[in-house]
Each structure stands twice: as structure tokens, then as C-alpha cells.
């Protein structure tokens, strides 16, 4: 579109203005960002549009029938197997994001308020495990939680239990533990950034004017760090809903999530339109749930204030 | 300091909590190396004895070595491509103001906020719909989409605070745009660029989902590991391989962090020069 606009402008008397624009901040900025932007457009935006288009089509053996239909969505939303998977995926990702934020907040607070001169080192130490291979970490949790695994054999050799606990692995709890571990740093960083923005004298002032520590925290620290809490929540919840590796490795029958069903439609089942509809439904459902939680959070914090 | 310790006395459990939290974070990645030296095919306590045979078995595993080579090729290509794209975007965002800036940055950063499987599935559909064969090239193209946001955040923090008047001085003294970039901008931001290369290489090395969907018949290391996990007997070998990958990742990340901090210091120094 911009290229066409350039072409049209070139033959008009306003080409002087065009030259001025070309030299302007705006043109240079646009020109500079365009390779990256076009790359994302071609390999992210366009593919997502294609997924949406496919979700309204039908698989006809090896061909795709391109008449508009809502049949895939009817299947996705009414078949009990998919409904259960959606409910479980949303429930797990909601639990994971809330647990991660709640457990990470004190650590972010500790680094921000008591990190001293080594704040950057603390942050680095928090992020290192999250940058290492995700697959390997999930595998490691399998080793820890398994029947003959570290946790069980360790507890037995300490004499705390007589026989291995079977409740550790292959259920949704194992999925939650593993995902909380995977996403810890993604929750700490945004919360830390928002805590850093708090004017420390505000808290001192509240204390001087007679607020208790808890009250000062609830009335100043918590509301000001709310944007950080919200982005931490979103950056954990939305990606975890579609997690594939963790449920497959540690979830067992009890911890299967929607990604397994999506993958099956692109593999063995070979029903792309249904897989596309499942993907779109996942995104819509997780966005709605996340939006509801964000609204609830904002409302609660305002009430506390 | 006395104020801080005073405040901490009110929350005596907090340091203990932070210590526990770090134990939770590091336990899984410390266990892999421990069991990779364990002289038993199972991962149980107490440990059975020290051995390096699992590492020795890796050297003769030609399928694994081919996967490692594939990972190296993909990693180098992805880190170069995503860092170049990241430089363009980070520079555009830190240096210029233009309409649509937020929208463009939002789209580029979107993979951070999307379930990876959806990115993978949509890429698979467009690749197959265009009739392109799955290969390492499709993995490179896909992982780059996923790595650009990380490259960009590293680079933006390196470019921010860069003093524009240095470049203006260079223009005023007759240097061309390219010359200015090479002789003024680049030396200041070079550590951030290297840091971005290292971070994106690490992400690519460890990335599984996109590689799993897009690699076709040429596996990268994580895809190879995924295939091995089905066989319990192969576990110790996988643990040894995993430990090597862990150490490599941590070394590269540490180096990246050191460079990133140097970049920060450099831009600040350039900023304070008279």
C-alpha cells in the first residue's frame, strides 16, 4: 500500500513534499521497522488469518471444502471430550498463573526492596533456569516426581514413607508444579519492574502518618504494582493454556490438555479445519477468562484501597 | 542499611522463603547433571557410583551427532536472522517516533503472548498450504518469528539512552549515514548485539515445539531427545546430553548477561561524556 502511495506521489507536483516526508523522522522510522514488521506480518499475522479461515472450512478426505460452515465450532464446543479438555486447560492455566504470581510476588518484592546493589545479579539468577531447555526441565520433573523417582526414593530412604507415593506423577498437580516452575521468571520480571517504579518516600510518608505496614502495603505498594501483576498474570496464563510438552510428559491420562487434541488434528486425525477451530476457540476462551480475571483484580484492589 | 535490616526483622521468614524459592528453581536443573554421572540406568536415590560412560556413549552416537549439527546450523541461522531483524526494529523504536509504532511493535512482540502451539500450527498450515517441504529452513523461519521479541528486548535495552548528539556530531563532521553507524553507533551497541546473538542462539538450541512441527525428517536436538524419551533404557544417555546442553546454555547466557551490562555501562558513559 505504501509502495503504491509512493508511486502515485512521484508523478504529482507534490513530489517536493514527498521528498521532505522521505527525509522525515516518520519515514525513516517506518522504513527501518518495515523488514521486521513485514516478517511478522508474513509469518505470524498471515498464518493466524489462515488458521481462522480454515476453521470455517471442512476436511473432505484429502481436499478442503471451502464452503462456510460453523460445524467445526459446533464440534469443538459441544463434544464432551473437547469440552472437558477446554475446561481442564483453562483451569490448569488459571491455577498456574495465580500460583506463579502469588509465589513470585514476595521474591520480586524482596529483590526490589532488599536486593541492594546486586539487584541485577538476583534477576539474572532468577532467569537462568527459565532460559535452559524447557523439554529438559519437564523431563527433570518427571525424574523427580516419578514412581521410582527422586522424591519417592528420597522420602523412603529418609524413612518418612514406606512405599512410593503414586499421587505425585501423571496427574494435573504434576502439570501445575512443572508449569509454575517453567514460568516463574516470566512472573517475577514484570512485577519487579512495577515495584521499582514505586516512590519509596510514599511508603515512608504513609508509615509516618500512622498506617500499619500491612495498610501501607495494601494502599500503596499493591495498587502501584498492579500493572506488573496483570502483565505477569497474562504472560503466564495465555501461553500455558496451549502447553503441549508438560501434559504429555508428566500429565498422564488425568492431565491431558487441549494442545494434545490440536496436535492430533494436524497429525494422525488429519482434520485441519477442526484443529484450526480448536485453536481459535482456545484463544478466544483464554482471552475471555484472562479479561475476566484482570477486571476482578482491578476491582478488588480498588476496593481494598 | 539499618533501615533495611530493621524492615527485614519484621519479615524474618522472607529470606528463608526466597532461599526455598531458589531451591525450587534450581533443583530440577541441578539433578540432571547429578544423575548423568550416576552408574545406574534408573534415576533413584541413593546414587550408585560415579561413571562417565553415558558421556562416552554420546560420542559414538551418529544420529545424535547429526541432530546436534542440525541444531547448530539452525541456531546460527536463527540468531543471525532474528538479531538483524531485531536491530532494525529496536533502532526504529528507540530512535524515531512514528504513527503505528505501538501497533507494529505489538505485532512483533506478539509471540511472547501467544500459546506456542498456535504459532506452530499456523506456521505449519501456511508452509504446507504453499507446498513447501518441511526442512531445517522451515524451522529457521519459524524459530525466528519466536526469537525476534527476545532479540528486540535485549537490543532495546542496549540502544536506549544512546546519546543522539554523538551521531549528529558525526553527521555534522561530514560522515555518511553508513559511516556513522559503523564508526559511532556500532562500537557503542556492539555488546548488546552480541548479547542478542547469544540469547537467540540459546533459545533456538532449546526450542522444541516449533522444531517438532516444522522439522520434517531432520530432527534438532530437542526433537531427537523427545524421540528418545519413549525408551526408559535411553534415559541416562539423554541425561548426559541434556547436561551438556544445560552447561552450554548457562555459559552462553552468562556471557550474554556480562555483555549486556557492559553495553548498558557503555551507553551511560557515552551519555555522560561532555
Could you read off the pLDDT of B202-223 as tens digits, one per residue? 899 989 999 999 988 899 999 9
**Quick one: A166 exposed, middle or buried, by C-beta within 10 A (0-12, 13-18, 19+)?**
exposed
**Cα A282 from Cα A288, distance rounded (Å):** 10
**What is the rounded (10 degree) CA torsion for A55, A56, A59, A65?**
-150
Q: What is the mean pLDDT of each run of 10 residues along chain B (274 residues)?
A: 52 86 91 82 71 82 90 96 94 85 90 90 88 91 94 85 77 82 81 89 92 91 90 83 88 86 70 50
**Cβ within 8 Å of residue B255, ≥6 positions away:** B198
Q: What is the pairing mode between strands A63-65 and A58-60?
A: antiparallel
Residue A178's nearest CA partner among A126, A270, A222, A244 is A244
The grid coordinates of residue A126 equal 532468577
Average pLDDT (A267-286) is 89
* DSSP label at residue A249: I
Question: Sign (positive/negative) of CA torsion B268, B269, B270, B271?
Answer: positive
**Cα A116 from Cα A122, distance rounded (Å):** 10
The number of C-alpha atoms within 13 Å of A274 and in the hemisphere containing its C-beta is: 22
A59 phi and psi angles, rounded to 5 deg: -80, 125
Residue with grid cell 531427537, as numbered in its chain: B224
Tell whether the model's pLDDT for residue A278 goes beyond 90.
yes
Instruction: Specify the DSSP element, H or E, that contains A63.
Output: strand A63-65
Between the alpha carbon of residue A191 and those of residues A120, A285, B136, the distances in Å are: 15, 25, 37
State whether A184 and B25 contact (CB < 8 Å): yes
A188 touches B: beta carbon within 8 Å: no
All domains of chain A, ordered by start, with CATH?
16-48 (no CATH), 71-304 (1.10.3720.10)
Kindly provide the ipTM of the predicted complex, given to two decimals. 0.84
Q: What is the pLDDT of residue A64?
A: 77
Q: What is the pLDDT of residue A36?
A: 93
Average pLDDT (A1-22) is 50
**Cα A96 from Cα A184, distance rounded (Å):** 10
Q: What is the pLDDT of residue A20?
A: 67
**Cα A108 from Cα A184, distance rounded (Å):** 10
**Cα B148 from Cα B153, distance rounded (Å):** 9
State whether B206 and A283 contact (CB < 8 Å): no
State whether B206 and A245 contact (CB < 8 Å): no
Q: What is the pLDDT of residue A85?
A: 93
Identify the residue with better confidence: A162 or B218.
B218
Facing B116 at nearest CB: one of A35, A44, A239:
A239
Average pLDDT (A27-54) is 91
**Cα A302 from Cα B18, distance rounded (Å):** 29
* Residues of chain B found within 8 Å of residue A43, distances taken between Cβ atoms: 123, 126, 141-142, 144-145
Question: What residues of chain A, 229 to 268, have a C-beta less than 8 Å from chain B?
Answer: 234-235, 238-245, 249, 259, 262-263, 266
* Residues of chain A found within 8 Å of residue B17, distances taken between Cβ atoms: 106-107
User: In whole numbers, what is the pLDDT of chain A averaged over residues?
Assistant: 85
The grid coordinates of residue A89 equal 486447560
Q: What is the DSSP string of B60-97?
A: T-HHHHHHHHHHHHHHHHHHHHHHHHHHHHHHHHHH--
Facing A242 at nearest CB: one of B99, B115, B253:
B115
Residue B108's nearest CA partner among B93, B126, B123 is B93
Facing A36 at nearest CB: one of B46, B85, B253:
B85
Q: How many CB atoms lie within 10 A of CB A219?
A: 17
Domain ranges of chain B: 62-272
According to CATH, the topology of domain B62-272 is MetI-like fold (1.10.3720)
**Cα A241 from Cα A262, distance rounded (Å):** 12
CA angle B235, B237, B240 (to 5 degrees): 110
Nearest CA distance, B145 vs chain A (angstrom)? 6
- Over the stretch A58-86, which tens digit does the pLDDT of each residue have? 887 777 778 888 888 998 899 999 999 99
Amino acid at each position: 500500500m505504501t509502495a503504491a502511495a509512493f508511486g502515485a506521489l512521484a508523478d504529482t507536483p507534490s513530489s517536493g513534499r514527498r521528498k521532505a516526508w522521505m527525509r522525515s523522522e516518520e519515514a525513516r522510522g517506518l522504513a527501518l521497522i518495515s523488514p521486521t514488521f513485514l516478517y511478522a506480518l508474513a509469518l505470524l499475522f498471515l498464518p493466524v488469518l489462515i488458521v481462522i479461515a480454515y476453521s470455517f472450512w471442512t476436511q473432505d478426505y484429502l481436499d478442503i471444502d471451502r464452503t462456510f460452515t460453523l460445524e467445526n465450532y459446533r464440534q469443538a464446543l459441544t463434544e464432551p471430550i473437547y469440552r472437558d479438555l477446554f475446561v481442564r486447560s483453562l483451569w490448569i492455566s488459571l491455577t498456574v498463573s495465580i500460583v506463579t504470581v502469588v509465589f513470585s510476588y514476595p521474591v520480586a518484592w524482596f529483590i526490589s526492596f532488599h536486593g541492594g546493589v546486586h539487584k541485577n545479579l538476583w534477576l539474572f539468577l532468577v532467569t537462568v533456569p527459565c532460559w535452559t531447555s524447557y523439554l529438559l526441565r519437564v523431563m527433570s520433573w518427571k525424574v523427580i516426581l516419578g514412581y521410582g523417582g527422586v522424591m519417592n526414593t528420597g522420602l523412603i530412604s529418609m524413612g518418612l514413607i514406606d512405599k512410593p507415593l503414586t499421587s505425585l506423577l501423571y496427574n494435573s498437580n504434576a502439570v501445575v508444579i512443572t508449569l509454575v516452575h517453567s514460568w516463574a521468571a516470566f512472573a517475577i520480571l514484570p512485577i519487579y519492574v512495577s515495584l521499582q517504579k514505586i516512590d519509596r518516600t510514599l511508603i515512608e510518608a504513609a508509615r509516618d502518618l500512622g498506617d500499619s505496614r500491612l495498610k501501607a502495603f495494601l494502599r500503596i505498594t499493591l495498587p502501584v504494582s498492579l500493572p506488573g501483576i496483570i502483565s505477569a498474570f497474562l504472560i503466564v496464563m495465555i501461553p500455558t493454556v496451549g502447553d503441549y510438552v508438560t501434559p504429555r510428559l508428566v500429565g498422564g491420562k488425568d492431565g491431558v490438555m487441549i494442545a494434545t487434541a490440536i496436535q492430533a488434528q494436524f497429525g494422525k486425525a488429519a482434520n485441519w479445519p477442526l484443529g484450526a477451530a480448536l485453536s481459535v476457540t482456545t484463544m478466544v476462551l483464554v482471552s475471555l477468562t484472562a479479561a475476566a480475571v484482570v477486571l476482578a483484580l482491578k476491582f478488588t484492589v480498588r476496593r481494598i484501597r | 542499611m539499618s533501615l533495611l535490616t530493621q524492615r527485614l526483622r519484621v519479615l524474618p521468614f522472607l529470606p528463608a522463603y526466597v532461599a526455598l524459592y531458589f531451591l525450587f528453581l534450581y533443583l530440577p536443573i541441578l539433578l540432571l547433571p547429578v544423575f548423568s554421572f550416576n552408574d545406574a540406568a534408573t534415576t533413584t536415590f541413593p546414587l550408585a557410583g560415579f561413571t562417565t560412560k553415558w558421556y562416552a556413549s554420546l560420542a559414538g552416537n551418529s544420529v545424535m551427532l547429526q541432530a546436534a549439527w542440525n541444531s547448530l546450523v539452525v541456531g546460527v541461522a536463527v540468531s543471525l536472522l532474528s538479531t538483524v531483524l531485531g536491530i532494525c526494529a529496536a533502532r526504529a523504536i528507540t530512535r524515531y517516533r512514528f504513527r503505528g509504532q505501538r501497533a507494529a511493535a505489538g505485532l512483533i512482540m506478539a509471540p511472547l503472548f501467544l500459546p506456542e502451539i498456535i504459532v506452530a500450527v499456523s506456521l505449519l498450515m501456511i508452509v504446507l498450504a504453499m507446498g513447501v517441504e518441511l526442512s531445517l529452513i522451515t524451522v529457521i523461519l519459524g524459530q525466528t518469528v519466536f526469537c525476534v521479541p527476545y532479540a528486540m528486548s535485549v537490543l532495546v535495552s542496549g540502544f536506549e539512552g544512546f546519546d543522539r548528539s554523538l551521531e549528529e556530531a558525526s553527521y555534522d563532521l561530514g560522515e555518511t549515514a553508513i559511516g556513522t553507524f559503523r564508526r559511532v553507533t556500532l562500537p557503542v551497541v556492539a555488546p548488546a548485539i552480541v548479547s542478542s546473538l547469544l540469547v537467540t542462539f540459546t533459545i533456538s538450541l532449546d526450542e522444541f515445539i516449533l522444531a517438532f512441527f516444522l522439522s520434517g525428517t531432520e530432527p534438532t536436538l530437542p526433537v531427537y531427545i523427545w524421540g528418545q524419551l519413549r525408551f526408559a533404557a535411553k534415559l541416562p544417555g539423554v541425561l548426559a546430553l541434556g547436561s551438556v546442553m544445560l552447561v552450554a546454555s548457562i555459559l552462553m547466557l552468562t556471557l550474554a548477561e556480562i555483555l549486556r551490562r557492559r553495553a548498558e555501562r557503555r551507553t551511560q558513559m557515552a551519555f555522560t561524556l561532555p
